[in-house]
Amino acid sequence: MFGKSVKVSPAISSEAKGLYGSLKSYGGFDTIGNPVMRRLGRRIINSGWRQTLEEIDFPYSMSAITLGGVEGLQCKSPASDRAGPVILYIHAGAFVCGSPEDNASAALPQCELAGAEVYAVRYSLAPEFPFPRGLEDVRNFYCALRSHVGNGRRIVIMGDSAGANIALSSMVQWRNNGIALPDCAVLISGCLDGTASSDTMITMQRHDPLIRIRGGNSLKSIFGYYANGTPVSDWRISPIYADLSGLPPMMLQVGSRETLLGDSARLSEKARTSGVNATLRVLDGMFHMFHLHWSMPEAKSVHQDIANFIATARVQAA
């Protein structure tokens, strides 16, 4: 536990201050190689994320769907528009945990705010199914999704943490292989560099309430399980090193208390110099995955920003 005595910004909401007292670190992920500890860790982390669904205060539905031979989850609310945007959501979980159901609160607000239908892909997890299996699952699901929703629907790719990594890597691969790209991308708290080279890996490691970096060793360990022998500096593993030219507009969101802050900052700058329209929003005092907590005003604010961005990107792409 991060501890109730930690100093937090007086500018954050009372709801956020209350959450700080109950946040529990994800740990170092050093025991992922042990099957028993891996199952236990997944159960604990996934359960915590699933509890955030209790904060959703509008009606919604979730139903299983299979596209391209890959399982997923279709999410709607009464506000979802059959002619509205379609969101391909790729969940967080350090490549080793999480699921469409457990992480659904990350994308559900877009059903209500953007009139979207959300399709969350159940990609294969490491270390049982390391790189490139997850990327292949996402590609197959995405290609089938485009056929499923038909022409005229705008498609948004959205990912958080490791899901943002997979989303960015996927777009670069699709561009290289001539696969039609989404109309825009939303990347939240992106975990984009397996070499742990961002400055905030050093400056924020004592201030991040959720991710224990330990000089980057914990992050490198996780990427090692995912990469399965592929160098972590390879852009397919660490897409911060990819050629970003020709990618669609991006919205990047991250909290100021994240060790991963530097990854988003670097991506924003690289996108700009590559001719890609990228908007970076850093939320003061916010922690990793804060957007899951719909009860916080800060989460409502960033989700409204996402909805506005999707609407603007649709107009530009139309």
Closest by CA to 59, choosing from 100, 112, 101, is 112
Closest by CA to 67, choosing from 167, 140, 156, is 140
Q: Which contiguous run of DSSP H or E holds residue 72?
A: strand 70-76
User: What is the reported pLDDT for 1?
Assistant: 34
- 117 has catalytic annotation: no
User: What is the reported pLDDT for 317?
Assistant: 57
- 258 has catalytic annotation: yes
User: What is the reported pLDDT for 203?
Assistant: 92
CA angle (147, 149, 151) in 5-degree steps: 75
How crowded is residue 242: how many other Cβ atoms within 10 Å of its Cβ?
A: 22
User: What is the reported pLDDT for 52?
Assistant: 96
Q: At what angle do helices 133-149 and 162-176 cross, to 10 degrees?
A: 70
Is residue 252 within 8 Å of residue 179, measured between CB atoms?
Answer: no
Which residue in this structure is represented by tokens 């959703």?
56
User: What is the reported pLDDT for 2?
Assistant: 39
Domains, the chain: 14-317 (3.40.50.1820)
Which residue stretches of the chain have pLDDT < 50?
1-4
Catalytic residue, chosen from 105, 161, 218, 264, is: 161
Closest by CA to 278, choosing from 171, 136, 200, 142, is 171
Is residue 240 within 8 Å of residue 192, measured between CB atoms?
Answer: yes
Catalytic residue, chosen from 112, 117, 258, 298, is: 258
Task: Give Cβ neighbours of residue 116 (< 8 Å, ≥ 6 apart).
Answer: 80, 81, 84, 85, 86, 87, 110, 156, 310
